[in-house]
Amino acid sequence: MKNILNAPFKSLHQSAPFDQIKTSDFIPALEIEIKETLKKINQICTQTELPSFENTLEALNQSGEQLGIITSILFNLNSAETNTELQEVVQKAAPLLTNFQNDIRLNEVLFSRIKTVYNQKENLNLTPEQNTLIEKEYKSFVRNGALLSVKDKEKLRAIDKELAQLSLTFGEHVLADSQAFEFHITQKEQLAGLPQTSIAMAKKLAQEKKKKGWIFTLDYPSYVPFVTYADNRSLREKMSRAFGKKGFQENDNNNEKIILRLIYLKKDRANLLGYKSHANFVLEERMAKSEKVVNKFLDDLYQSALPFAQKEWEQLEEFAKNKLNLTELQKWDTAYVSEKLKQELFDFDDQVLKPYFPLPKVLIGLFKIVQRLYGVRFKKSNKIKGYHKDVDCYEVLNEAGDYYAILYADFHPRSGKRSGAWMTSYRSQNQKNRPHISIVCNFSPPTENAPSLLTFSEVTTLFHEFGHALHGILANTKYSGLSGTNVSWDFVELPSQILENWCYQEEALSLFANHYLTKEPLPMHYVQKIKDAAQFQQGMQTLRQLSFGYLDLSYHNENAMNIDCVHSHEEKQIAKLQFTPKIKENCLSTSFSHIFQGGYAAGYYSYKWAEVLDADAFELFLEKGIFDKKTAKAFHDNILSKGGTQHPMDLYKRFRGSEPDPKALLRRAGLIQ
């Protein structure tokens, strides 16, 4: 019987037939497609025609399309709907795919043909996109060992294989520790201070587990409200300590040795390729270009934010002492005290806003905003199948009403789904295919009496991930390798972060912020409070983000090999960036999935880097109007549709007319006038 994964899908728009795919299909399908793709690569290498852009670069870019689809389905499911069986398959698939990539990148004949075209590119009359593709492919081969000796190529193969497996194991450990913890409460008085929506969600979870009372977990919709609102300090401490111990306990899920091995392998790999550090290797291909530039960027932000952060902390301590009788603030107190202070300063309680942000209504409003900006519409479809019953599927239609993309929307936590929020794709866009895009979040699920109600922070998270989705949906390039989010890592957050700005604008809020019971629009005085509160504790928030950026770089710079204890190293790195006392049982690094499982190694700074871009870019929208068609078209034509077809600074300057102003971020954060 033919494997369903090895042929074009017969479903609507060739969407993935999740209900027909078996876990056992993946490895045989991968083996077949790897073999077929290598056969196509061999045809490129053995042809008698002289190397040209079309018969080498274009042919290479078009090979392995079905392999890419299978791989995307497998790894996306492993993040959003995993189980033990699937995790075992992924562990088997990782070395297969790493070996496959090395078979291509270390193919001397293929590289020779690419090098020939690369050396002739000035005389080939290439389009900007074609020129970028040849530059990217040539550098990719070189940066993956094409110029190494046979012996060093084999060493690189071994390093890449181990890195792939360790990264997967790191993520599995974090997920396992998260799911192993549950806080079962049976005494009602211990719920004091918690929002009713959180209590209802915890009660529902307890009922599902056939237990009395309430169950809280380390999933963000459960954890964040608990440490923010629970009046019982000892219970907040219990939750906070559990959250901070992920990957840092004396059990099979401990990630300390994995981290040390990962940073050693990355340093060894970089040295093998002629770089002093993994950071130098990574940053060479980023907008920032070098570790020196990134450190200066972080240091400048630190100097700007520190005085504000110190004043904010003193204000927090004074408020805690005088109003809450708390004399020494701990990690589990900061969110709680900050929320109380915010309520006093702005007469603002995020929980009061939740009834105005029912997820279904927010989503409809988001669709309207996007349609007004870029002309696309979202039509829910029952003909497209999701990978879980909670996944909603949409056809994306262009202004003419024609099919343009697929969107999968997966919003609520469940067993087998990792925490956090992200965007991904199941099918890349190219000149033949429109993209299949997915956004995944972990918002509070609906209860018996209410729909899923979002905090304002969750509203901005939804807009953020949808910004990434638009980068994929509106992509319009010839080659999939340059499409959508295939851009410099410190540019990829611009489309996501700029869309968050619409959450603070009255004209946009009026499209979706209505009370789910009374239908009353969000009162305008709340809109002003949202704007005022947006600058609340921005100094401290900036230091928090900088701590992640500094910590990330420290694991990947020239001195990384001197690290022998993850916990003590982390403490030294972030000491100047935090105000609460150290907790010896907690460690951020052991669950820092962005850099040890995701693609942010030596790149976490890019969140702040992109904030500069988005703050500067949105100032143009504010000047021209947040729904100004000309500005939106310029952003679409030069940023969203172009992917990585040209250097990001060239694309940005074409949109904005100049390089970004670093002070735009400081102005928005209220750190300068």
Give the integer Cα–Cα distance in Å for 227 and 339. Answer: 10
> Chain centroid to CA 605: how far?
13
Q: Give the Å distances, CA to CA, from 353 to 347, 348, 369, 514, 589.
A: 12, 9, 20, 10, 33
Q: Is 672 helix (H, G, I), strand (E, B) or coil?
A: coil
In whole angstroms, what is the distance from residue 139 CA to residue 19 CA? 40
DSSP E strands: which ranges in 105-191? 183-185
Two structure tokens written together for 285? 């291909």
Q: Which amino acid is at 426?
A: Y
The rounded radius of gyration (Å) of the Cα atoms in the chain is 25
619 among known catalytic residues: no
Q: How far apart are CA 380 and CA 389, in angstroms?
A: 14
Instruction: Specify the amino acid at residue 221.
Output: P
Angstrom distance (rounded) from CA 187 to CA 184: 10
DSSP 188: G
Q: Which pairing describes strands 436-440 and 403-410: parallel, antiparallel, or unpaired?
A: parallel
- Cβ atoms 270, 369 nearer than 8 A: no
Catalytic residue among 458, 465, 493, 500: 465
Three-state SS annotation for 236-281: HHHHHHHHHCCCCCCCCCCCHHHHHHHHHHHHHHHHHCCCCCHHHH
Q: Which two tokens stand for residue 22?
A: 């078996």
In the 3-class helix/strand/coil scheme, how is 535-602 assigned residue by residue? CCCHHHHHHHHHHHHHHHHHCCCCCHHHCCCHHHHHHHHHHHHCCCCCCCCCCCHHHCHHHHCCCCCC
- Given the structure tokens 């099979």, which residue do they identify? 252
Sheet with 436-440, edge to edge strand ranges: 377-380, 392-397, 403-410, 436-440, 422-427
On the 0-12 / 13-18 / 19+ scale of CB atoms within 10 A, 234 is: exposed
Q: Are 605 and 564 in contact (CB under 8 A)?
A: no
Task: For residue 254, give Cα distances in angstroms to 182, 247, 259, 261, 591.
Answer: 19, 4, 10, 13, 10
Phi-psi group of 3: left, alpha or beta (phi > 0 → left; psi -120 to 50 → alpha; rest → beta): beta
Structure tokens given for 296 = 């200066």
What does the chain come to in residues? 673
Residues 493 and 610 sit within 8 Å (Cβ to Cβ): yes
The H or E element containing residue 426 is: strand 422-427
**How many angstroms from the chain centroid is the CA of residue 20?**
29
Integer Cα distance of 568 and 564 in angstroms:
9
Distance separating alpha carbons of residues 630 and 488, to the nearest angstrom: 26
- Determine the Cα–Cα distance for residues 268 and 272; give it in Å rounded to an integer: 6
Task: Give, for 440, the enclosing helix (H) or strand (E).
Answer: strand 436-440
Catalytic residues: 465
